[in-house]
Structure 1
Amino acid sequence: MGELRALIFDVDGTLADTERDGHRVAFNRAFADAGLDWDWTVPLYGELLSVTGGKERIRYFIDRYRPDFDAPQDLDGFIAALHAAKTRHFVEILEGGAIPLRPGVGRLFEEARQAGVQLAIATTTTPKNVEALLVSTLGEDALDWFACIGAGDIVPAKKPAPDIYFYVLEQTGWPAEECLAFEDSANGVRSSRGADLKTIVTINDYTRGQNFDGAALVVDQFGEADAPFAVLAGDAGGSRYVDLALLRRLHGS
């Protein structure tokens, strides 16, 4: 096994708590714009998160929860338009500064950059969402920090399929054994592990209690020196927060 070359990050729930007060709210605003009486409550959205991809989530909701819905003939186009409206609302939420990065994320990015460890993104969310989050939290030049941003419909099968990770590895030329992946959900772990990537999990309120079998380490957050993480599974070797020293130990173990 070579040295640790790169860190590949999921976005929603991993880099920022975007789901409950970001995506969910944006979906509801898009539904209201379209004159729909749909309301994705906090508990319902937790159930819908079992489906990856926004358009796929809308379709699942219609099939399971609204079989009475008088669907238009062009259902695909209807769903795509709803999702585009949702994306506009979500970007507005991000640009308003309502969603910060999770603790330790910015620090870990900066530490990796200073050490020459490369960064990439592997997510099912749309590229616009990724760009808006990175720019709103890290600044205009943040997109240049990442060797590859694999996002949205760029691959045919979304997580838990490993396709988005295979895409990032192919685009960068990085061997999987020289990378670490970061996820927040069981579907994410299935995706990254399907691409033979050693994976660190940082949970959130929606994914707490999911099955993270195969993860190298499960923590409640990346943590900071004055706000340590809690280790839920795996061995952090006495570390109090996720830094490159810990990641190199996990990578080499």
Structure 2
Amino acid sequence: MPLRALIFDVDGTLADTERDAHRVAFNQAFAAAGLPFDWDVPTYGRYLKVTGGKERLRSFLNDHPALPQLSDGDIARIHQQKTAYYVEMMQAGLLPLRPGVERLLNAANDAGLTLAIATTTTPANVDALLKSTLGQDGSNRFQVIGAGDIVPHKKPAPDIYTYVLRQLDLPATDGLALEDSENGLRSAVSAGLATVITQTEYTQDQDFSSALRVLDQLGEPHSPAKVLQGREAGQQIVVDVSVLSQWLAERA
């Protein structure tokens, strides 16, 4: 089937937000609440295996019973404050899109492809990032934005991708997901989507064996991506619509 839609994850895929944005915002929220902990880079990386910010904090507390324990309501309030700090960072324009992302978005739009988002982060976080990097109308580039708690189960469950496909009225065979993590890959593949991975510092050691391709980024003409897994492994490439269409056709 021809490629008709690209469905993007957000954190780590559109922008490398985890280490220097979400982690920092969490620590600001912890400090504001008077909590005696601070997530360093390795600690946050370990808890990225848990999808969803509220769920991540609960998992951390479960692993550290000597620390002050929080109710679900407390966690929700801290997460809300964390989101506010994150939005402030995005409004300040502190984080760019990953290499090749805006180029591919523009090319997909020119080719008539539908664009969508499937993420576990909050709608406020998505909107802030898109406005910061793509302008005030950034969200309008995407026909469907599936985000946050709109579905009952977060990645690696397929719910968010199933929701987006249903909203698009699109069979999974006509779409392609772009992800950066094993949980995201499992979610997309479970929904029937072929998936391309652009790994990050935090996800480079994860299992991407079911991915269509794994790359270090999407690439720009002056700075191509490196294919890390797949037929072209070791080669440099600039990922565009024709490349993605070819990869999807191989899967048929």
Question: Per the shorter chain, which TM-score range?
Answer: over 0.9
Distance across 1 between alignment mates of 2:14 and 2:142: 14
Structure 1 residue matching 2:237: 3-state secondary structure: coil
Q: Extract structure 1 runs of 4+ deviating beyond 6 A.
A: none
Distance across 1 between alignment mates of 2:72 and 2:190: 29
Distance across 2 between alignment mates of 1:45 and 1:71: 18
Distance across 1 between alignment mates of 2:232 and 2:121: 30
C-alpha displacement of 1:239: 6.4
> Which residue, 92, 96, 103 being the options, matches 1:100?
96
Structure 1 residue matching 2:10: 3-state secondary structure: coil
C-alpha displacement of 1:68: 1.8
Judge conservation of contact 1:14–1:182 (CA < 8 Å) in 2.
yes
C-alpha displacement of 1:143: 1.0
Partner of 2:111: 115
Code of the residue aligned with 1:42 in structure 2: it is V
Partner of 2:35: 36
Tell whether 2:188 aligns with 1:189.
Answer: no
Partner of 2:246: 249
Structure 2 residue matching 1:192: 3-state secondary structure: helix
Judge conservation of contact 2:227–2:236 (CA < 8 Å) in 1.
no
Judge conservation of contact 2:172–2:191 (CA < 8 Å) in 1.
yes
Q: Percent identity?
A: 56
Tell whether 2:86 aligns with 1:87.
Answer: no
Tell whether 2:17 aligns with 1:18.
Answer: yes
Structure 2 residue matching 1:121: 3-state secondary structure: strand
C-alpha displacement of 1:79: 0.4
C-alpha displacement of 1:49: 0.4
Partner of 1:146: 142
Partner of 1:175: 171
Judge conservation of contact 1:239–1:246 (CA < 8 Å) in 2.
no
Code of the residue aligned with 1:126 in structure 2: it is T
Distance across 2 between alignment mates of 1:209 and 1:121: 25
Distance across 1 between alignment mates of 2:31 and 2:47: 18
Code of the residue aligned with 1:169 in structure 2: it is L
Q: How many matched pairs?
A: 249
Partner of 2:67: 69
Structure 1 residue matching 2:12: 3-state secondary structure: coil
Judge conservation of contact 1:22–1:90 (CA < 8 Å) in 2.
yes
Structure 1 residue matching 2:225: 3-state secondary structure: coil
Code of the residue aligned with 2:148 in structure 1: it is G
Distance across 2 between alignment mates of 1:230 and 1:70: 45
5 Å-filtered alignment, 1:198-209, equals: 198-209=194-205
Residues 189 and 36 from structure 1, CA distance in 2 versus in 1: closer, same or farther, beyond 3 angstroms? same
Gaps of 5+ in 2: none
Code of the residue aligned with 2:75 in structure 1: it is I
Partner of 1:164: 160
Q: Name the Cα RMSD after superposition.
A: 1.1
Distance across 1 between alignment mates of 2:6 and 2:196: 10
* Superposition TM-score, scaled by structure 1 size: 0.96
- Describe the superposition over 1:138-197 as per-residue Cα deviations: whole angstroms up to 9, x where unpaired: 011111111100000000100000000000011110110000000101111100000010
Judge conservation of contact 1:182–1:199 (CA < 8 Å) in 2.
yes
- Describe the superposition over 1:81-101 as per-residue Cα deviations: whole angstroms up to 9, x where unpaired: 000000000000111111100
Gaps of 5+ in 1: none
